[in-house]
């Protein structure tokens, strides 16, 4: 069954992974072994069907960079769940300064891998910025990043974070071989559909879910434009998810 079937009938070869997109760049990934991971949990975005108070099942939170539309509800979710937050070193230090426990803030850097309970978080490059807006202006948020998350059964997901196309994406493919790609397509702040289509060719995933589009008028990229620009062999790989829909 292909990726253009109606939402209530679509099935995909996700090897037990359940995925929910909450709009913008916010995802929940649930592994076949029951691990629940939130990436960039901005649940106050205008397309999210839930708010942070409704979320209870969290084992990990991963942050790609320091902008408010990605850090989002991290502190609230971390405090109510006790889940560790994985991000670049500077963001981890910022979260501690905002009252998060030291043992919850897992700082790492690009090129490294953090492993816990059979799940591997590999931090990979992104082309963007990462300043954290605060009461006294913008503070250092370290480098922007993406994540390749490999689950207990070997299935792996690449969240691009906010990024432009860059040629070293081919090395993400070479070293991590992600099965599923969560790709920003909105344009203006990230790559748009044409460059995202080229990034798919570099990563060569089995499936692609577009993200970071439609949240604001400035984000003009669309899934339809991505499919149109995609190479023929990848057009059927694009899964257009709806906010709140479980794709599994």
- For residue 231, the model assigns a pLDDT of 98
Q: What integer pLDDT is reported at residue 11 of this predicted model?
A: 65
**More confident of the two residues 197 and 248:** 197
Instruction: Walk me through the domains of the chain, giving residue ranges and CATH numbers.
Output: 18-129+152-247 (3.60.15.10)
* Residue tagged 């202006």 (tokens): 137
Residue 7 has pLDDT above 90, yes or no: no
Structure tokens at 45: 């975005």
Mean pLDDT of 137-157: 97
Task: Evaluate if residue 78 carries a pLDDT over 70.
Answer: yes
d(CA 191, CA 113): 26
Beta-strand ranges (E) seen in the chain are 18-21, 27-30, 36-39, 60-62, 85-88, 105-108, 113-116, 119-125, 132-134, 137-139, 145-150, 156-159, 180-184, 207-211, 246-247
- The pTM score is 0.95
**Confidence at residue 12, expressed as pLDDT on a 0 to 100 scale:** 81
Tell me the per-residue pLDDT of 85-127, one tens digit each, with 9 for 90 and over.
Answer: 999 999 999 999 999 999 999 999 999 999 999 999 999 999 9
Kindly report, residue by residue over 225-239, the tens digit of the pLDDT.
999 999 999 999 999
* Number of residues written out for the chain: 248
Confidence at residue 234, expressed as pLDDT on a 0 to 100 scale: 98
Choose among 80, 32, 31, 35: nearest CA to 54: 80
């Amino acid at each position: 069954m292909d990726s253009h079937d109606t939402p209530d009938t679509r099935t995909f070869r996700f090897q037990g992974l359940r995925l929910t997109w909450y709009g913008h760049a916010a995802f929940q990934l649930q592994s076949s072994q029951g691990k629940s991971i939130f990436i960039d949990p901005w649940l106050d975005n205008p397309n999210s069907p839930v708010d942070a108070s409704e979320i209870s099942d969290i084992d990990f939170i991963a942050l790609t960079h320091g902008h408010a539309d990605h850090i989002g509800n991290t502190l609230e979710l971390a405090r109510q769940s006790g889940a560790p937050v994985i991000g670049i070193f500077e963001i981890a230090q910022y979260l501690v300064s905002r009252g998060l426990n030291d043992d919850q803030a897992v700082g790492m850097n690009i090129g490294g891998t953090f492993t816990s309970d059979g799940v591997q978080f590999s931090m990979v490059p992104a082309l963007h910025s990462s300043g954290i807006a605060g009461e006294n202006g913008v503070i250092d948020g370290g480098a922007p990043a993406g994540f390749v998350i490999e689950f207990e059964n070997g299935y792996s997901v690449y969240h691009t974070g906010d990024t432009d196309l860059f040629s070293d994406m081919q090395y993400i493919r070479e070293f991590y071989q992600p099965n599923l790609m969560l790709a920003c397509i909105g344009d203006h702040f990230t790559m748009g559909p044409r460059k995202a289509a080229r990034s798919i060719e570099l990563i060569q995933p089995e499936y692609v879910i577009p993200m970071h589009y439609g949240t604001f008028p400035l984000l003009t990229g669309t899934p339809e434009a991505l499919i149109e620009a995609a190479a023929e062999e990848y057009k059927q790989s694009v899964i257009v998810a709806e906010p709140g829909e479980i794709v599994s």
